Structures are given as C-alpha cells and as structure tokens.
Amino acid sequence: MPTLLAPSILAADFANLQRDIEMINNSDADWFHLDVMDGVFVPNISFGMPVIKSIAKHAKKPLDVHLMIVDPDRYIATFANLGTDNLTVHYEACTHLHRTLQAIKATGMTAGVAINPHTSISLLEDVITDIDVVCIMSVNPGFGGQSFIANTYKKVTALKELIEANNATTKIEIDGGVTDKNAKDLVDAGADILVAGSFVFGSENPTKTIENLREITK
C-alpha cells in the first residue's frame, strides 16, 4: 500500500482556510489531519466542532481527527456526526481504552490510538488487534513546528514487530516534525501514514511540497 500523506490543518492559514482546503483537495495528499486540543490534556487550544463542520463541507478526502483532549468518550458520537472517517484518541487520556475503541467503531469510524513520546509501544499489546491506526507522536503534543524526536524510529520498528506478531492490520501513523529529511527513513522503518503540518503549509509551494513527499515515499 502506498504511503498516505495527511497534511495537518493546524498549520494552515485560518484566514484563508477554504483556500488551503481546496489546495489539499487538489494535491497528492490522501487525508486531512485535524488536531483538536482542549487546553487541558495539552497546553494549547486549537479548534472545535464548528470549524470541523465547515472543513467537512468542502473536504473531498477523508477526515483524520486527532483528539488531544480529556474524556474523549463524551464526543465520539459528535465527531461521527461531523463526518469524521478516522477518530484517534490518546492512550494517556483513556481509562477504558478497549471500551473507547469499540464505541468509536460502533459509529462506523475507524479507531486510532495516539501515544506520547514517553509512552511505550508495549502498552498497546493487549488491544493491538482492535486498533486501526496507531499514531506515534514524534514531538510532544500541543504545538506545531517542533523538532522531530529521533527515538521515534525505534518505536516504529517495535510497533511493526508487535503488529506482525499479532497478525494485526493496524496502520502506523507518524505525527510531528515530518519533513523531506526523515520521511523516507520513517517509511522504511514501517510507517504507513505521515502527518505533515508546518513543513507543508510553511513552504512556498505547499502543493509541490506534498508532491515531493509523495515522490520520496514511493
């Protein structure tokens, strides 16, 4: 399966959001990555339901919603109704992760689990066959534009081994500090999905930057 590219809307120009949505629609990107932050689980607040509803109205590609919030179970149905395709919750925010995953899948969405840089891959062993996407945070969550944490490569390799050992179909997503300097190495290590925010939207030509990432990760 070709590597999926998911530009992070957190890095888009919110004064020209429709323009940036159309750019992704017409680019080589595969998904829209939407970071929802509550200022409690992470030290930042991003955007909520009204903005996602507006994005969904214009987006022609799947919505990959990443909840960096406490008590995500309260909002599962809401995000399903907004048109979310994949809903990712944080391991660190879920008291009953298996129950949360089942609740997400019951709405028809695929279920993702994100893990912070300090969280061990081994903690997912008992639920790996229930997870559609594991999102490895390669920066500390909460802010865009951070430097990539090199230990991520070891985590990708360990996660790939865990997936294969359990005959799971789980996809590996990398979120944070992804650029043209590390994209190929991440894919070679086992990554299936790359989230890129500042690298895409901070470039002179975001469409060309996505195209280059596509070439690199073939």
- Catalytic amino acids? 35, 175
Contact yes or no for 137/176 (Cβ under 8 A): yes
Question: Which of 39, 35, 69, 28 is closest to 52 using CA atoms?
Answer: 35
Q: Read off φ and ψ for residue 135, nearest 5 degrees.
A: -100, 110
Q: Read off φ and ψ for residue 33, nearest 5 degrees.
A: -100, 120
Contact yes or no for 90/124 (Cβ under 8 A): no
For the record, the structure tokens of 97 come out as 């992760």
User: What is the amino acid identity at position 122?
Assistant: S
Conformation bin of residue 37: beta by default, left when phi > 0, alpha when psi is -120 to 50: beta
